[in-house]
Amino acid sequence: MTRSGHFGFVRIAMTSIEKGYLKRITIEGAAIVASILLAFAIDAWWDERRDRVDERSYLASLRQELAESIEVASQSIESRVIAIAAHESLIAQIQGAPRASIGDLYLWVSSVSLPIQYIPPRSAFNDTVASGGVMLIQSDELRLALAEFDQGLRYLQQVDSASWAVWEERLQPLLEGRVPRVERLRQGLRAKWTDDVPFGNSPHAADFDGVLADPRFEDMLAERWLRLQNGLDGIERLGKHAANLVRLIDIELQSK
């Protein structure tokens, strides 16, 4: 064999070895990449599975809380209707309706002084927001409905605060010294409790004639009546939002 032939054989042999080495390296590299991709896929699958478990837990808690919110809203609506009716009755007295009994007048004034506020349970909702659980909810419609419910609740709180301010800052000071508070409570609470109250009749007579003849009283009643009506509309909308949220949550829970 000539020298050139010998070197040619060596080159062929080295090329073969290099090809084998490269093939082995390629296979091993592919195996490593596949292993890494498989690990990522398993991690992603596990994270997704954990997210869906967490999402279901959040949804179940929210559903229970919203059901309680609907019940609280129903009770708040009843209180608002009573307070609104009391405002209307007193305004009718101012505008010339036949004079009601002293007991009814006390009852209406007491109902006007009812603290009207809607405070639904919020722990599950607050926890869902604070922990980032809202981002785990897959339904865009459900997330939007939750945001609308929260906005509606904030609006109602503002309306109720403004309504209470009319009583606390204007109506109550006007009534003080003219319609005894003790008698307002006694007469007002008797509609729901028994006559066995921890205090008796006040020795001070109420000046209903003077109060009903005061134009400021009518203006204040009319303003608070309007705010109470806005609050009633707001809480009725919230009740519908809550019922829709329960429906959407049920759909999500059934699909998982």
Determine the distance from the C-alpha atom of residue 54 to the mean position of all C-alpha atoms in its chain, rounded to a whole number.
20
Q: What is the pLDDT of residues 88-133, one digit of tens each?
A: 999 999 999 999 998 899 989 989 988 888 988 888 888 888 888 8
Q: Residue 191 is encoded by which pair of tokens?
A: 């509609």
Q: Note the pLDDT of residue 21.
A: 63
Sign of the alpha-carbon dihedral angle for 98, 104, 106, 109: negative
Could you say which DSSP state residue 100 is in? Answer: P
- Cα 155 to chain centroid distance, Å, stands at 11
Distances (CA, A) of 113 to 108, 170, 183, 199: 9, 12, 13, 19
Non-local CB neighbours of 237 within 8 Å, separated by 6+ positions: 152
Instruction: Report the candidate in 156, 133, 151 with the shortest Cα–Cα distance to residue 249.
Output: 133
Half-sphere exposure of 60 (CA within 13 A, CB side): 8
User: 187, 179, 66, 200: which is closest to 122 by C-alpha?
Assistant: 66
Quote the pTM value.
0.76
The domain of 88 spans 3-255
| Contact predicate 124/62, CB 8 Å | yes
pLDDT at 130: 83
What pLDDT, on a 0 to 100 scale, did the predictor assign at position 10? 45
If you search the block for the tokens 């949220």, which residue do you land on?
A: 245
User: What pLDDT does 191 receive?
Assistant: 47
pLDDT of residue 228: 96
pLDDT of residue 145: 92
pLDDT at 54: 84
Q: How many domains are contained in the chain?
A: 1
Rounded CA-CA distance 25/29 in Å is 6
Closest-CA residue to 183 (of 112, 82, 102): 102
CA–CA distance, 84 with 3 (Å, rounded to integer)? 115
Those residues of the chain that have pLDDT short of 70 are: 1-23, 28-31, 34, 38-48, 188-200, 256
Which residue shows structure tokens 């080495």? 21
List C-alpha distances in Å: 159 to 173, 197, 239, 253.
21, 33, 16, 34
Helices (H) and strands (E) in the chain, counts: 8, 0
106 contact partners, CB below 8 Å, separation of at least 6? 179, 183, 184, 186, 187, 188, 206
